[in-house]
Structure 1
Amino acid sequence: MFHSSYIEISKSALHNNINFIKQQIGPQVQLSSVIKGNAYGHGIEVFGPLAQDCGITHFAVFSADEALRLQESLPSPATIMIMGFLDNPELEWAIQHDIEFFVFEPERLLEAAKAAGKAGKKAKVHIELETGMNRTGFDPAELHQLKEMLHEHRQYVQLQGLCTHYAGAESSENHHRILAQQKNFLALRKSFQESSLTPSQIHTACSAAMMGYTDTHMDMVRVGIMQYGFWPSPEMYTDYMSRNDMQQDPLKLLINWKSSIMSLKHVPQGDYIGYGASYQAPRDMKIAVIPVGYAWGYSRSLSNQGQVLIQGLKAGVVGIVNMNVMMVDVTDIPGVQKGNEVVLLGKQGDQSISVASFSELSSQLNYELLTRLPLNIPRFVVP
């Protein structure tokens, strides 16, 4: 292996998580697998075929490049929906390849109609409505113009979906804001129906809304973080576990990020370890050097705080995390040797290192830590 670390992706864990999600939404609601951000760090080229093998037929990506990567990696055709960036020159390509996409401004709708005329087939668009997120979406003041455009260009544009996105459904502090968004969306949906504009799909729910607001399920849910085994927030996890009187998390982590010990070094008591003077050895210590640093997505903010697993035991990071290496304290791990497996994230024996524990130490979200894992770390599917 030519790389200093690698990532294992568990098929059985994904199958478990998809089954759990389907139990929440029932058989009548479609599950769209959100794989933006390089499948939340799991790797589009690895995760896409794996998810399809687990029964996923609908995928949501952020941009055209992600759509292309997914399309080229899937063994069988699937529905691909672009939720974000799609430049005008890419519209014709998307239409030709039956790739669906969000439309959230008049200019994109006009360009989509033009591209559809050139491609000789309809553009399948999902109209995103502004309901209170204030990010992307047609404002209420634009609706009259939007409806007229949809009718005018119906020869070239198919209203595949009507959608919105909620602003923080993972936190109870946003509850009233989410309810207001729901109310706004339902009113706008009714307005479309009254204008003889009937979308094929209505969808508004992300992972958090799916779990916290069952009336948002509608025709389809767009689930990202939960399919990978993570909860949208600790609050949602605690709430679900208490309401269902459960002791064990029903979700399973897919990811195991592994490396190995590159070198071992003895450090006398009183000496400093690594750059600067952030860590002084309180005793004679044995240090393992791991060939992973912040260039590989292991945050520098985990200096003197992070932990890894070696021989089923936790070893703390000592000193500053470097660009390509970090040092961990293995003084109390018996028989440690160069080449021993190191788990940076995931399980080893009975112990585990979770992204949540990273987040507590480095003030980062699960999402941020996962998506920072570089593209060039090899990813492998395991049972």
Structure 2
Amino acid sequence: MHTNSVIELSQNALKNNIAFLRKTFGSKVQLSSVVKGNAYGHGIYSFTSMAYAAGVNHFSVFDVEEAKTIHAHLNQKVTIMVMGLVTDEDMEWVITNEVEFFVFEKKRLLKALKTAKLFQKKAKIHIELETGMNRTGFDKKELGSLIAILKKEKEYFEFKGICTHYAGAESIANYYRIDKQIKKFEEMHQIIVAHDLKPEIKHSACSAASIMFPQTRMDLVRIGIMQYGLWPSPEVFVNYLNTKKSKVDPLQRVITWKSKIMNIKTVQAGEFIGYGNSFLAERKMTIAVIPIGYSHGYSRSLSNQGRVLIKGHRCMVVGSINMNMMTVDVTDISNAKIEDEVILIGRQDNISISVASFSDLSNQLNYELLTRISKTIPRKITD
């Protein structure tokens, strides 16, 4: 078991975020908690347990392995929807366990049909439409063939939903592209409905789209980053604030990442710190060694840029991030010592280190930095 650090997950922060999202979307819109990428680095097992306790009963995952993790401990209590990979070998498990899944091409549709017939159990499908993301989904020209199969074999399909995904709703630069997608989605939906095929729900919104384009909320929203207390981008946050009198962030960060000082040493002026010669001490310095490196998910791109919190001070990472260690400047902290708490993400003495500030320093997304956090780090649920 990893003992270098611990990740704490705040149940109260999650409850706050879920309550905010439900109030924003209204009671008629269902909330699906997106927990792909190990629940955005929070730990899929721990986080789904917390979300279920907060009243969430619908989860979206990328692949069947993630679905199996949720199914193993929440079983029939929740709805699980696979948005991405379902191999032919996994189709039996998905259908027999009544897991919902996206169908975005004919081969998968036919495999689902064959498996449903074999086990005499309906496949719970969401038909994904290609509206301009150019990644997955049925094109408009494929609708005829799709409709024919769905109508002919309707006893083997439970048409749970029709969906799409937007290409960068977090940026106003993509406004016209997203607007075009919204219109195309509705056009294709109407074609399907006109052939007497009616999905139970329509859904298309991720966190960014749900705020930037309220019309995309439809029947269900697939919310990832915002439930964890982070905004998809500064633009989305500003867009939200511009609609409110109170300019206060309604979200609370769920994750706190903590470690401890492993060693302290003095470095003389003129000496290099760490590998190579990327950092030269221009004065006599006190350096704290933290047992966290890029193997734990603390990006090497934060070398000589990252910040951590120690005794209420914001301390700079100096030298290169190593595989298992980093060095930080504690020269101006007179009483820093081994075993002192180090905050990598979170709050200490009213000072905060956010994932967003990591992104500003390393030119990486919130999403990427979170999902890189090692699965071996213990997750601890707190109030």
5+ residue gaps, structure 2, are none
Identity %: 53
Residue 201 (structure 1) aligns with:
201
Deviation of residue 243 (structure 1)?
2.7
Distance of 1:58 and 1:221 partners within structure 2: 10
Distance of 2:50 and 2:23 partners within structure 1: 20
CA contact (8 A) 2:289 2:328 kept: yes
Residue 210 (structure 1) aligns with:
210
Distance of 2:240 and 2:129 partners within structure 1: 30
TM-score of the superposed pair, with normalisation by structure 2? 0.98
Aligned amino acid, residue 104 of structure 1: F
The alignment partner of 2:49 has SS state of helix
Distance of 1:215 and 1:238 partners within structure 2: 19
CA contact (8 A) 1:318 1:327 kept: yes
Residue 47 (structure 1) aligns with:
47
Aligned amino acid, residue 259 of structure 1: S
Deviation digits for residues 46-72 of structure 1 (CA, Å, limit 9, x no counterpart): 000100000001000000000001111
Output aligned runs, 1:53-92, within 5 Å. 53-74=53-74, 77-92=77-92
User: Against the structure 1 CA distance between its residues 75 and 85, is the aligned structure 2 distance closer, same or farther, given a 3 Å change threshold?
Assistant: closer
Residue 274 (structure 2) aligns with:
274
Deviation of residue 248 (structure 1)?
2.1
Distance of 1:373 and 1:167 partners within structure 2: 26
CA contact (8 A) 1:35 1:59 kept: yes
Distance of 2:312 and 2:171 partners within structure 1: 35
Q: What is the aligned length?
A: 383
CA contact (8 A) 2:2 2:377 kept: no
Deviation digits for residues 277-333 of structure 1 (CA, Å, limit 9, x no counterpart): 111111111100000000111011111100000111111100011000000000111
Residue 361 (structure 2) aligns with:
361
| Counterpart check, 1:19 vs 2:16 | no
Distance of 1:76 and 1:334 partners within structure 2: 55
Instruction: Name which of structure 1's ranges 233-242 and 21-30 shifts more when overlaid on structure 2.
Output: 233-242
The alignment partner of 1:158 has SS state of strand
Residue 93 (structure 2) aligns with:
93
Output aligned runs, 1:98-109, within 5 Å. 98-109=98-109
The alignment partner of 1:74 has SS state of helix
Residue 261 (structure 1) aligns with:
261
TM-score of the superposed pair, with normalisation by structure 1? 0.98
Distance of 1:266 and 1:176 partners within structure 2: 56
CA contact (8 A) 1:104 1:128 kept: yes
Distance of 1:166 and 1:323 partners within structure 2: 36
CA contact (8 A) 1:49 1:75 kept: no
Q: Kindly report structure 1 stretches of 4+ aligned residues shifted beyond 3 Å.
A: none
Residue 329 (structure 1) aligns with:
329
Deviation digits for residues 15-73 of structure 1 (CA, Å, limit 9, x no counterpart): 01011111111001100000011100001000001000000010000000000011113
The alignment partner of 2:242 has SS state of helix
Query: What RMSD in Å do the two structures reach over aligned CA positions?
Result: 1.0
Deviation of residue 156 (structure 1)?
1.0
CA contact (8 A) 2:292 2:325 kept: yes
Residue 284 (structure 1) aligns with:
284
CA contact (8 A) 1:258 1:341 kept: yes
Distance of 2:76 and 2:259 partners within structure 1: 33
